[in-house]
Amino acid sequence: KARVPIFAFGVSLSSMESSRRPTLLGSPMRSAAASPVLGPGSWPRDMPALTLEEDDETAALQAAIEASLGSDMKRRLGSSLRSTEQELQSEYPEDDDADGSAPARRRRRCASDLDVALSDTEVSLAPCPSQSGQADLPANASGAESGFIEGQGQVSATQNLQNLEFDGLLDHEALLETIYASQGLNLREQQEKASRLLAEMGLSCLDLGVKNWDEEGRELVNQCFYLSIARSYLGHLPGSTEVQKAALLLKRTVESCVLAAHPSWAEDEQRLGQNAMAFADFLPIAMGAKDPPNLVARLAVVIIDTTQCHAEAYLGPLYSPRDEGGHEERSRDELEKSLILLCYTPGHYKALVQNDSNGSKPVWTYKELKSILEERGVMCIETSDFD
């Protein structure tokens, strides 16, 4: 994968070459309430010390975060892959695996189902944002706000962090706040910078929650990534049922590509963690899938990280193809429709929408969005080579 730093948020971040992401982009707890430990072991106490000196700062912070949240993220990703594997076996029972080709066949069927479903759904575009007004960063689905958890006081580095778990999942926002505070850093200051950035761009964060349901009514959690992509793609006109259906099919399309390419990842979380530490890490695999390519290959997915004020861009190989003369092969409408805007708050993804009464879909192309971010000194890391 080719990751190219394009621009920086007013400072040099060359350490990103050795540490791709200074935070883990994952899904949240289901509730704000504290609860006893139901799953993973206690939070690591031997967190690496941060060396806050220029280029070492981001790499050291990343190491501390991975030591604290890495195991939890591996559990979430592995659980999601296993649920997708079970869904595909139930949805396509006729695809037996006697010859080992079932994963590839299921991947193709998922891609086809997603294309058919979205071809029948109208995508709503709106006028360009005014790049003014107020954009907010509402509390994430974990409910942690300004370092508080419902019914508790402010989180401290010495607190019994078993109380920061619910249904066996860690509260990423509270833990990140603890990591930052223990080293004299202020997570909220970073998020306030992101809030100002979004306000300048005329954008707001729209929280789609973390739950979805399959065709049999079974509840799926940790779905904020796929729900947010689905809403960002479809815009404000389709109802929640259409968004949820698109998110379910999107999950299956993306994760069937992962299972076809790396069947052992569903069971081997150690190997999974060596290659993926966030749901966004599944995108390059899905974007690079061929025979045939899927909808994801036609998307440009941009995630603005509110904890570090930088952006990650995943550019599908079919988002902006050019002919032999170097001309765009897709229309402007197609480029606008295929631009996905997300924001990441600790442990949670949200859709980025226009700051209007409808939460409309912005109508930028990726090139235009990159220019807007560049004007504001935001660092963007591009992934565009999936071979």
- List, as own/partner pairs, every contact residues 174-179 make where C-beta atoms lie below 8 angstroms and the sequence separation is at least 24, other chains included: 174/142, 174/144, 174/147, 174/149, 175/43, 175/68, 175/69, 175/346, 176/23, 176/65, 176/69, 176/307, 176/346, 176/347, 177/144, 177/147, 177/346, 179/47, 179/61, 179/64, 179/65, 179/68
How much is the pTM? Answer: 0.74
Closest Cα partner for 44 from 161, 159, 156, 154? 161
Higher per-residue pLDDT: 32 or 85: 85
DSSP bridge pairs for 339 = 300
Does residue 352 surpass a pLDDT of 60? yes
* Burial of 12 from C-beta contacts in 10 A (0-12 / 13-18 / 19+): exposed
Tokens of 292: 């045939």
| pLDDT for residue 312 | 94
- Amino acid letter, residue 175: L
Cβ atoms within 10 Å, residue 241: 8
pLDDT in tens, 286-297: 999 988 899 999
Mean pLDDT over all residues of the chain?
74
| pLDDT for residue 163 | 39
* Mean pLDDT value across residues 77-97: 84
Using a pLDDT cut of 70, give the percent of the chain over it.
66
What distance in Å separates the CA atoms of residue 96 and residue 80, rounded to the nearest whole number? Answer: 21
| pLDDT for residue 271 | 82
What distance in Å separates the CA atoms of residue 144 and residue 165, rounded to the nearest whole number? Answer: 12
Higher per-residue pLDDT: 288 or 52: 288
| pLDDT for residue 208 | 94
pLDDT bucket at 143, cuts 50 / 70 / 90? very low
| pLDDT for residue 70 | 72
User: At which residue do the structure tokens 């998110």 appear?
Assistant: 247
Contact 347, 222 (CB under 8 A): no
